[in-house]
Structure 1
Amino acid sequence: MPAATIHQLLLDVAPAGPRLVAVGERGRILLSFDEGKNWSSASAPGQATLTAVYFHDDRHGWAVGHDAVILRTEDGGKTWALMHQSPEERKPLLDVWFENLQHGFAVGAYGLALETHDGGQRWQRRTLLPEDMHLNAIAGGPGGRIYVAGEAGTLLRSDDAGRHWRKLPSPYPGSFFGVLRLPDGNPLIFGLRGKAFRSPDGGKRWLPITTHGETTLQGGSVLTNGSIVLVGNDARVLTSHDGGRQFTARQHDLRQAFAAVAASGGALVLVGERGVAVLSRSEEESR
């Protein structure tokens, strides 16, 4: 189906080799092989809204969502298997990240955190902080350092692949909806009222980022060329080519709230409350 005909809520999108995989309401999973122009439905179990998708490589990926649902794919998103669910808790999972094919974390509402050491076959509860704040986003990378961002300025860091966690000083008391691990290993965080900060030292200090307004930022991505793209409400799109120090801003012609962004070939593919929007990367970089 053409992107212009998709009119449902999509909450995340991620590259999986030559394809893009998007997830959203009612358990919908969509695949695109042509930089977001056309999409097809994947085979997926259940109808719980899916909030996040993550691929460790071209074939192996995980999606999480409401009812603490966790899905796994081993064929690049074509088919999915249900690995975990807990509808009685009424706690949605909001993000997922894997260190390797065996070890990963899923985080969510009211402090919910789950960890697996066997590729998602079994999941154990983890307590990352005493309070039951929503844990909205998780990002990791080489060296065992992982960051979590959440409600009411919650910021956490692990230096040993999640065995131990400590709370970081927060530059803002409002909620953060996203955290990116930059190419130098340091974090960039963003959230309510257009607040965004980057740290030069692993979260000890935070430097404010000018985002040209107070529009809430919902999603972001670090592209293969090192550029950073943030998206949010009111069709907001922010782009940085200097490691997050400065961003240029624009609003997409299709006015909607964007939840996530991914790059595919020469396109930026944005998903949100009205489905999919495709933006030429050359057009964006010329602004």
Structure 2
Amino acid sequence: MRPRTISVLVLSAVALASVSGFARRPEPDWRLTDPGVTARLRGLAAVSDRVAWASGSDSTVLRTVDGGRSWQRVGPADPGLELRDIEAFDADSAVVLSIGTGGDSRVYRTDDAGRNWTETFRNDDERAFYDCLAFFDRRHGLALSDPVDGRFRILSTADGGRSWSVLPGTGMPAALEGEFAFAASGTCLVTADRGPDRAWFATGGGASARVFRTDDRGRSWSVTASPVPSGPSAGIYSLAFRDAGHGIAVGGDYTTPASAPDGAATSRDGGRSWTVAAGPPGAYRSGAAWLPRAGWLALAVGPTGSDISYDGGRRWRNFDAGSFDSVDCTAGGACWASGEQGRIATLRWR
């Protein structure tokens, strides 16, 4: 039986347990791979059970096409980049975001498996700081900057990241004093299936951790407060939407990673309102992902461990104590995680 078939069967069992209340559910477990680097890998793009990309510090981009048994280092030639977000379309094509003020915020694209990269955007505004990017499809995508002149700034592409333009700020609500987004895992800005024009981004830093939503690919936005605590280093670090309506938010304060009361929330109305999780992870979490084809099953990761939810993010249970920054799952049910010291893992079930 092929590994992908096994994965689908296991996920079907998980979904059945989730909706039927069975006590015994398949247990998740991370299988570490060895990419041969010590970079911190905050950017992650899962393409399939065999293909994944990861990006991180010191211009690091990694690529595997054999399920993590071997990795190739294929990053841009420019040294010293903090590559915090990567979006991959297949085994050959990917877009990666470098973060930082001014010209350190850049976007690169490859179409030959990382052998060559083209710089397609370089920020020329010293006030801007780009945090994350997301794509609706292979052509249309957005990138998010912290506020400039009191409003978050949005970049848009209609050609797969080969060119970018700054969208007018007239449709963006005003930012709160001290409000910003977190470039911790590349998931502060997300899209969802069955919502081809809809995207969300999450914030912290100010008086309230908020979620912004667009229904027209970034031209206009609405915003709502969440119950997740906010502060100078606290707020929502990661969003994940199962579909156009159901979302989860996780976060906390990275300066106190072992404690995050009310550090997770859920939405059932497309991000218009949020309810604090009845049983949050209880610790700072920087990444979250849904498992497609698995009912209401979701994952969250952070420096103190990984958690699983069987009920759409309302209650979480820890299953691993290892440090990860990012998690991503494919439409076929393959899940990957990445983090500090070159840690990359694939999810398996016991």
Q: State the percentage of identical aligned residues.
A: 24
Q: Is the 8 A contact 1:266 1:280 kept in 2?
A: no
User: Counterparts of 1:280 and 1:120 in 2: how far apart (Å)?
Assistant: 30
Q: Hey, what does 2:224 align to over in structure 1?
A: 168
Partner of 2:289: 221
Q: 1:244 to 1:58 in 2, by over 3 A?
A: farther
Contact persistence 1:11–1:51 (CA under 8 A): yes
1:9 aligns with 2:55: no
Matched, 1:244 2:285: no
**2:249 aligned residue:** 189
1:119 aligned partner: 160
2:328 to 246, 258, 262: 262
- Equivalents in 1 of 2:215, 2:333: separation in Å? 35
SS in 2 for 1:269: strand
Matching residue's letter, 2:66? D
Question: Aligned pairs, how many?
Answer: 278
Structure 2 CA distance for partners of 1:14 and 1:217, relative to 1, 3 Å: same
Partner of 2:111: 74
For the residues of structure 1 that align with 2:278 and 2:269, how far apart are their CA atoms? 19
- The alignment's C-alpha RMSD in Å is 2.7
Matched, 1:199 2:267: yes
Select the residue among 120, 126, 134 that pairs with 2:180: 134
TM superposition shift of 1:191? 0.8
TM-score by length of 1: 0.84
Q: Work out whether residues 9 and 274 of structure 1, in 8 Å CA contact, stay in contact via their aligned partners in 2.
A: yes
Say whether the 8 Å CA contact 1:13–1:271 is kept in structure 2.
yes
Tell me how far 1:205 sits from its aligned partner.
Answer: 2.6
User: Larger Rg: 1 or 2?
Assistant: 2
Tell me the secondary structure at the aligned position of residue 205 of structure 1: coil
Tell me which residue corresponds to 1:53: 86
Task: Quote the offset at 1:52 in angstroms.
Answer: 0.8
- Bigger shift: 44-53 or 67-76? 67-76
Question: For the Cα contact (< 8 Å) 2:300–2:306, is it kept in 1?
Answer: yes
The answer for unaligned runs of 5 or more in structure 1 is none
- Residues 220 and 32 from structure 1, CA distance in 2 versus in 1: closer, same or farther, beyond 3 angstroms? same
Question: Does the Cα contact within 8 Å between 1:51 and 1:93 map onto a contact in 2?
Answer: no
- Aligned partners of 1:12 and 1:261 also within 8 Å: no
Going by fraction, where is strand more abundant, 1 or 2? 1
Structure 2 gap segments, 5+ residues each = 1-32, 183-187, 253-259
Q: For residues 90-101 of structure 1, what are the structure 2 equivalents within 5 Å?
A: 91-101=128-138
TM-score (norm 2): 0.70
- Higher mean C-alpha displacement, 199-208 vs 272-281: 272-281
CA distance in 1: counterparts of 2:138 and 2:84, whole angstroms: 21
> Which secondary structure state, in structure 1, belongs to the residue aligned with residue 243 of structure 2?
coil
- Whether 1:180 aligns to 2:240 is yes
Question: Deviations 1:115-168 (Å, cap 9, x if unpaired)?
Answer: 123333432223333227323411113332211111231210112222210111
Tell me if the contact between 1:158 and 1:165 (Cα under 8 Å) persists in the aligned partners: yes
Task: Specify the code of the residue in structure 2 equivalent to 1:139.
Answer: V
CA distance in 2, matches of 1:119, 1:34: 25
